[in-house]
Structure 1
Amino acid sequence: MENRTTVQEFTLEGFPAVQHLGRLLFSVHLLAYLASMTGNVVIVSVVCTSAHLKTPMYFFLGIFSFFECCFTSAVIPKLLAIFLLGKQTISFVACFIQAFIFVFIGAFGFLLIAVMSVDRCVAICKPLHYHTIMNLRTCTLLIMACLTMTFTLITWVVGKVSRLSFCGPHVIPHFFCDIGPLIHLSCSDTRAAETLAFSLAFLIILSSLIITIIAYSSIVVTIVRLPSAKERQKAFSTCSSHLIVLSLMYGSCVFIYVKTKQTSRLESNREAALVNTVVTPLLNPVIYTLRNKQVHRALRETVCRIKISR
């Protein structure tokens, strides 16, 4: 750290306008957090134990749900402490660790969504070659490539921001440590850090979006060419849940990160971030399992095995 960094801890502002409703908000967010964790843990468990879900689609879904658990756990416990106990302080090191975990998992989620889009594209457009193309080795290499690239890029940007000087205001106008608000608090020249953060956010979101658009364009063309309406409906139903998750993730994150000036609209960022960290992880298990007959079957079999073991 540079010598001019004198701030030893930050204060998370949270939601001061509704802080008087702390106990009520604590209860609501605790229930949402527990429901989100339960839903995602169930998906991970079913994917790992069910013989019917040993396909690339569910392999990626299990990884996605696992990282959703990590994603919410990096942010929500501190928010609960703010609501219930008013503990708004966080140490300098802990703040940057939280920022790294949050941005790393978020960026990996976008790349994973792009990989899942490619998986659906191959499954629908090349059904006869699907298991040859998307074998276990290919899936593992795709995940490792996403993790390596994300870790390298996010370590670079968080390291750059951590080397800025923090000697003035220490109140973060947010409910967790994020890159944008931290850059805004620095008392040194932040133009290079802002440019880097914006460029990487733009690169990750845009690249994953382009891959997703190309994949789903191919899917739409293939679905339209299917001879029967029943086949078209079945093909589209396998992608509908994925499209809903896509719209939630891209909508909230584009609003937060793809802005040239991180100092703008910090207030509205909190609401968008709340959607990204609470609402989306809560809805994902419901969206992915509501219309999925294979997951329903696997859940029933798991429940039956538990009853028999008792």
Structure 2
Amino acid sequence: MNQSTVTEIILLGFSLTPDKRICLFIIFLLIYCSTILVNALIILVVYYDHHLHNPMYFFLSNFSFLEICYTTVTVPKMLSDLIVQNPLISVAGCITQYHFFSFCAATEHFLLVIMAYDRNVAICYPLHYRSIMNMKTCTQLVCICWVTSAVSLTVPAFSVSRLYFCGPNTIDHFFCELNPLLKLSCTNTFILQTIFNCLSWIIILGCLICISVSYVNIISTIIKIPSKLGKRKAFSTCASHLAVVGIFYGTVIFIYLRPTVNIPFHQNKVVSIFYILVTPMLNPIIYSFKNESLRKAAANCMEKVRIIFFMKAA
């Protein structure tokens, strides 16, 4: 207790020369802006185009909103540290960043499960799809995603907020994660680490199992379709979601479910950049490339904006 309490944490981020920092800043800024714009465009297109007012696009617009939140929690601070070179963050700010990042990540797991369930019902029970996946049910499912994420993270969130930091105060990362935070704490974190590990396994593997069960049903149903054209159409409706699931869980499992004993945090930086920056940008692109209705709706929306712009300019 003779040691002074730490009030600020240093995020080491990327050890680069000023020129490389500027180059990295420009690249990351472009990716971040593209992510915000593309996901915001999907939300607007789904909202304004009445042809897209169905469960699949409703979930997709919620997923796009979540991706915006997911990147905004960490990327602005990272960009600021790159250009201003001010890697300090308050302990309260660091803990808050961890809370919201974990909350968005957990919600994304649950939302991917619901999107897989939606495709399962659409392909396996097409005649009952509209009665099962009505808008009231879809809204309730999305609310359950957010509430379940908040409730499941209540214990870790409260425990982290009670940690005591007395030094050192350096994290070899560009944002605040739980494991680096626990390394800095002077409090005994064994119970918290155990709870976090168990929760990570339950959420990640539990959601992955649910998604796998849905796709087993989907694949078994597609195999029974007699025509090749019917099989192709059925598979195309879930190909985008399957690609997003593969990218997302591939990076998450690498970070959180591999053995982490004595692994330096800087080895996770490249993978972290991928799932924090690159994946949220790729997801809407994957959906738009695979979905003709969404592409047409986006093109119509852009054409209307162009017409309005030129009318006002004239």
TM over 0.5: yes
Is 1:46–1:299's contact at 8 Å kept on the other side of the alignment?
A: yes
Return the offset for 1:306: 2.4
Q: Secondary structure at the match of 1:16?
A: coil
Is 1:72–1:281's contact at 8 Å kept on the other side of the alignment?
A: yes
Structure 1 equivalent of residue 230 of structure 2:
231
Q: For 1:263 and 1:158, locate their aligned partners in 2 and report how far apart those are by CA, in whole Å.
A: 24
Return the offset for 1:3: 11
Structure 2 equivalent of residue 149 of structure 1:
148
State whether structure 2 residue 257 is matched by structure 1 residue 258.
yes
Answer with 159-168 or 300-309: which moved more.
Answer: 300-309
Structure 1 equivalent of residue 200 of structure 2:
201
Q: How does 1:124-273 map to 2 (within 5 A)?
A: 124-259=123-258, 261=260, 264-273=263-272
State whether structure 2 residue 287 is matched by structure 1 residue 288.
yes
Change (3 A) 1:188 1:134: same
Q: Which amino acid aligns with 2:145?
A: C
Q: For 2:196 and 2:271, locate their aligned partners in 1 and report how far apart those are by CA, in whole Å.
A: 18
Q: For 1:178 and 1:19, locate their aligned partners in 2 and report how far apart those are by CA, in whole Å.
A: 26
Change (3 A) 1:281 1:19: farther
Deviations 1:210-234 (A, max 9, x none): 1100000000001111111011111
Answer with 94-103 or 296-305: which moved more.
Answer: 296-305
Q: Which amino acid aligns with 2:266?
A: E
Return the offset for 1:296: 1.3
Q: Which amino acid aligns with 1:99?
A: Y
Structure 2 equivalent of residue 112 of structure 1:
111
Return the offset for 1:76: 0.7
Q: Which amino acid aligns with 2:225?
A: L
Q: For 1:263 and 1:126, locate their aligned partners in 2 and report how far apart those are by CA, in whole Å.
A: 49
Q: Secondary structure at the match of 1:167?
A: coil
Q: CA RMSD in A?
A: 1.8
Q: For 2:278 and 2:44, locate their aligned partners in 1 and report how far apart those are by CA, in whole Å.
A: 22
Q: How does 1:60-71 map to 2 (within 5 A)?
A: 60-71=59-70
Q: Secondary structure at the match of 2:153?
A: helix
Return the offset for 1:190: 1.3
Deviations 1:267-304 (A, max 9, x none): 22222211110110110111010121110121122123
Change (3 A) 1:304 1:131: same
Structure 1 equivalent of residue 27 of structure 2:
28
Aligned length in residues: 309
Answer with 200-209 or 250-259: which moved more.
Answer: 250-259
Deviations 1:63-122 (A, max 9, x none): 000010111111111111111111100011111111111110011001000000000000
Answer with 2-11 or 148-157: which moved more.
Answer: 2-11
- Percent identity, aligned pairs only, is 39
Deviations 1:183-222 (A, max 9, x none): 1211221111110111111111111101100000000001
Moved over 6 A (4+): 2-5
TM (norm. structure 1) is 0.95
Q: For 2:28 and 2:105, locate their aligned partners in 1 and report how far apart those are by CA, in whole Å.
A: 20
Return the offset for 1:265: 4.1
Q: Which amino acid aligns with 1:180?
A: N
Return the offset for 1:168: 1.4
State whether structure 2 residue 53 is matched by structure 1 residue 54.
yes
Structure 2 equivalent of residue 303 of structure 1:
302
Change (3 A) 1:87 1:66: same
Change (3 A) 1:295 1:262: farther
Q: Which amino acid aligns with 2:190?
A: R
Structure 2 equivalent of residue 101 of structure 1:
100
Q: Secondary structure at the match of 1:124?
A: helix
Change (3 A) 1:304 1:249: same
Q: Which amino acid aligns with 1:228?
A: S
Return the offset for 1:240: 1.2
Q: For 1:85 and 1:8, locate their aligned partners in 2 and report how far apart those are by CA, in whole Å.
A: 20
For structure 2, the residue ranges without an aligned partner over 5 or more in a row are: none
Q: For 2:27 and 2:175, locate their aligned partners in 1 and report how far apart those are by CA, in whole Å.
A: 18
